[in-house]
Amino acid sequence: MKSKFDSALKRRKKRIIRQYALFWPPALVFLTIVRSIGTEEIGSFDPGITISIILAATFGVIGGVISGSLQYILEEKIYGKASVLKLGLAKGAFIILFLVLFIILAFIVTKVVFKHNIAFWTFVMDEGSGPVYFYIITVDIFMTRLRQVNLMLGEGNLTKLLTAKLYIPHEEERIFMFLDLQSSTSIAEKLGHIKYSQLIQDCFYDLGVVDEYEAEIYQYVGDEAVLTWELNKGLNKDQCLNSYFAFIETLERKKDYYLKKYDTAPSFKAALNCGRVTATEVGRYKKEIAYHGDTLNTAARILAKCNEFNEMILISENLRRLVKSSHFEFKLIGDVPLRGKTETVEIFAVNPKQAQSEPNTNINSQSL
């Protein structure tokens, strides 16, 4: 399933680059317009407002691709693997590199397209360049901070908060998956809290493979994670089920890494349910998006039954009824009483069919 993990990274890279490529053109066009209103360009080269706007938009797209690519490298190759100091130095180096590439691009256009005869160092130190450099650095830092806020809230949730989309509670049809580290108590006792936290960090980093299946990571709670999908997205191509087996296969592929570093091979049990929930913005001094409803409570209660029935993944009858895939085998567990619920819930265990290309997790043979 390495290809799936790589696909998730490529998908993430495209998303970051797209965000930066969309942001930078209006940022540079804005700078161009502001500099042209009521002022006289003091630099040695002034192509005029119309050409300047076209150049700003073009440079914005190219600069966005460069800046987005550098941001992706920072997030995937450096963040979490270096100290705060090294991370800051890396970001500073990337900003300088971005600015240098931007200057070189502008110089080439000036020389080749506009046939303006000017030495490179003279171009760099042009009187009107200082404010432009400062603006580019400021915008790039702002984009990095905005990107961090977006990651903290979850991909796409920043837009929902800024547009007040969830200010008034409303109902949505969603699928929820609750994931829990198997044998977490014994692992924590063996590793100690620092090493255990590092293990959780690594596991949830590998959980990034679910991005390939359009999953939204709703919450991290200790050693648990809660994933969610809009109903149609989760059912499309069985993404809600495939995401779990992709994650398990990723952990299996990195088994040697985990054994060497933590002397344990982590595995996660899961429970899924679907239904109507209320989505809303909560909090005054710390805002986040919250989902409320019996759908989540039922999924959490089903998760607690994995150990009892010696299964790694269980789903509700509500979800089983909607999944039409022939790629999985569903074993009826039965009508099961759940804590806090007066009525029993029919639940199923899930296994990928051996004839399919989906990973075989041998879930029934795993130690619980």
Residue with the larger pLDDT of the pair 64 and 115 = 64
The predicted structure's pLDDT at residue 83: 67
Give me 33's structure tokens. 């317009």
Q: What does DSSP assign to residue 216?
A: E
* Whole-structure pTM value: 0.76
pLDDT, mean of residues 16-34: 91
Q: How crowded is residue 224: how many other Cβ atoms within 10 Å of its Cβ?
A: 16
pLDDT, mean of residues 44-51: 69
The predicted structure's pLDDT at residue 293: 94
Is the model's pLDDT at 270 over the cut of 90? yes
Contacts of 360 (CB under 8 A, 6+ apart): 352, 354
pLDDT, mean of residues 190-199: 94
Is the model's pLDDT at 279 over the cut of 80? yes
Phi-psi region of 214 (alpha: psi -120 to 50; beta: other; left: phi over 0): left
pLDDT, mean of residues 224-245: 95
The predicted structure's pLDDT at residue 7: 72
Answer for the pair 192, 199: CB distance below 8 angstroms, yes or no. no
The predicted structure's pLDDT at residue 82: 62
Sorting pLDDT into bands at 50, 70 and 90, what band is 5? Answer: low
Residue type at 138 in one-letter notation: T
Is the model's pLDDT at 358 over the cut of 50? no
The predicted structure's pLDDT at residue 360: 46
Sorting pLDDT into bands at 50, 70 and 90, what band is 196? Answer: very high
Answer for the pair 157, 289: CB distance below 8 angstroms, yes or no. yes
Name which of 245-254, 279-288, 313-322 the model is least confident about.
279-288
Which residues are paired to 226 by β-bridges?
178, 219
Domains of the chain: 2-153 (no CATH), 157-365 (3.30.70.1230)
Dihedral angle computed from the Cα positions of residues 63, 65, 69 and 71, in that order, rounded to the nearest 10 degrees: 60
The predicted structure's pLDDT at residue 1: 41
Cα separation of 121 and 247, whole Å?
52
